[in-house]
């Protein structure tokens, strides 16, 4: 399960952790932990769990546009199983795994489930538009890395948007371009890719052809998720300091959350801490030791939540953690053949 890329990212993460804990004062952090209010940490953890229930529900809404109704609890288990795979394997294998699990448990072709996953990821990315709009009202001095992150995420978001627009508005151009790219990498599977694209395009068109009430429901749910994300971290900050702005925490955590779409070490080891310091301290001006304390504690708690619920979800859907890569690769190929 561990490859060269994983090893490199693990060492990078350890390096980030070493840098992080050399920037903050460990003694101050320990003193802050002693005076922290546990009730706020508990409330923060509950909100965090709720957010992923809502995220899985949003994905379920997308799935139910293109397939027969799937129970919300089944989708939640698959969503959390995919999340824990993404969390521990730094190659975004969890997104493909979710499609494979749906194929295994609900006989839904990968070509049909994958567009719903991609659109769900686009909904996670759309806050970058608001962040770009809010830039003039954010602190004037911005670390260079903040600009790089924002513009990189904007390119990914608008690139994805163009991808879906072309798939809906000009199917032939979309197919020709995609098949052209496929031929560059491998001509062996070109016929399978062609069949896959037919279902993929039909599914995208079914999802996009939604009524206004459905669209309002999806957008409203996405906004609630963003606000609850901010509330989760704000409550964690409140446990140690009552003077933290909810507005700034929402902005900061939304930006931090967006960076998770980029390659990171397993469990965001080190990258979560160092990016948090850049965003909340260097960018938003929150005291660095407070940031270090909050992000250390929340990282430990959220990692535990994801691993425990994700591991239980994998067991419920009948998958062993140590065979994930082989299972997904094998089943993915077989499912593609059938699709």
Cα–Cα distance between 121 and 98 in angstroms, integer? 13
Please state the pTM of the whole predicted model. Answer: 0.83
Amino acid 38: pLDDT: 94
How many domains would you assign to the chain?
1
> Tokens in use for 248?
């700034």
Amino acid 321: pLDDT: 64
> Tokens in use for 186?
């491998």
Range of the domain at 304: 4-338
Amino acid 188: pLDDT: 62
> Comparing C-alpha atoms, which of 102, 83, 104, 105 is closest to residue 94?
83
C-alpha pair distances (Å), 282 with each of 48, 165, 168, 277? 25, 37, 42, 7
Amino acid 93: pLDDT: 77
pLDDT tens by residue, the chain, 339 residues: 455 666 777 777 788 888 888 888 889 988 999 888 999 999 999 999 999 999 999 999 999 888 877 889 999 999 999 999 888 876 667 888 899 899 888 888 888 898 899 889 888 888 887 777 766 666 656 667 777 777 788 888 888 888 877 877 777 777 777 776 666 656 666 667 667 777 777 787 777 777 778 888 888 999 999 999 999 999 999 999 888 888 889 888 888 887 777 767 777 777 888 888 888 888 888 899 999 999 999 999 999 999 999 999 999 998 876 666 666 556 555 555 555
């Amino acid at each position: 399960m561990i490859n060269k890329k994983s090893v490199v990212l693990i060492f990078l993460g350890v390096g980030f952790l070493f840098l992080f804990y050399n920037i903050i004062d460990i003694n101050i952090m320990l003193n802050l932990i002693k005076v922290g209010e546990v009730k706020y940490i508990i409330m923060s953890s509950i909100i965090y769990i709720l957010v992923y229930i809502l995220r899985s529900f949003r994905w379920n809404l997308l799935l139910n546009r293109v397939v027969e109704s799937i129970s919300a609890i089944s989708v939640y288990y698959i969503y959390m199983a995919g999340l824990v795979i993404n969390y521990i394997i730094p190659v975004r294998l969890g997104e493909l795994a979710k499609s494979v699990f749906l194929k295994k448990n609900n006989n839904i072709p990968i070509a049909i489930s994958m567009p719903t996953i991609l659109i769900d990821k686009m909904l996670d990315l759309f806050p970058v538009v608001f962040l770009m709009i809010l830039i003039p009202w954010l602190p004037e001095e911005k670390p260079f890395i903040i600009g790089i992150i924002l513009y990189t995420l904007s390119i990914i978001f608008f690139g994805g948007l163009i991808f879906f627009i072309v798939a809906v508005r000009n199917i032939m151009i979309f197919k020709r371009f995609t098949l052209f790219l496929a031929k560059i990498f491998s001509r062996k599977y070109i016929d399978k890719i062609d069949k896959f694209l037919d279902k993929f395009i039909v599914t995208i068109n079914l999802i996009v052809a939604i009524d206004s009430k459905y669209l309002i429901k999806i957008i409203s749910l996405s906004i609630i998720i963003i606000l609850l994300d901010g509330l989760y971290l704000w409550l964690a900050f409140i446990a140690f300091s009552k003077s933290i702005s909810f507005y700034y925490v929402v902005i900061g955590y939304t930006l931090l959350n967006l960076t998770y779409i980029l390659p990171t070490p397993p469990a965001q080891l080190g990258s979560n801490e160092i990016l948090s310091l850049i965003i909340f301290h260097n960018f938003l001006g929150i005291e660095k030791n407070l940031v270090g304390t909050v992000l250390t504690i929340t990282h430990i708690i959220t990692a535990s939540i994801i691993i425990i619920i994700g591991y239980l979800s994998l067991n419920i859907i009948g998958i062993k953690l140590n065979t994930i890569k082989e299972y997904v690769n094998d089943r993915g190929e077989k499912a593609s053949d059938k699709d």
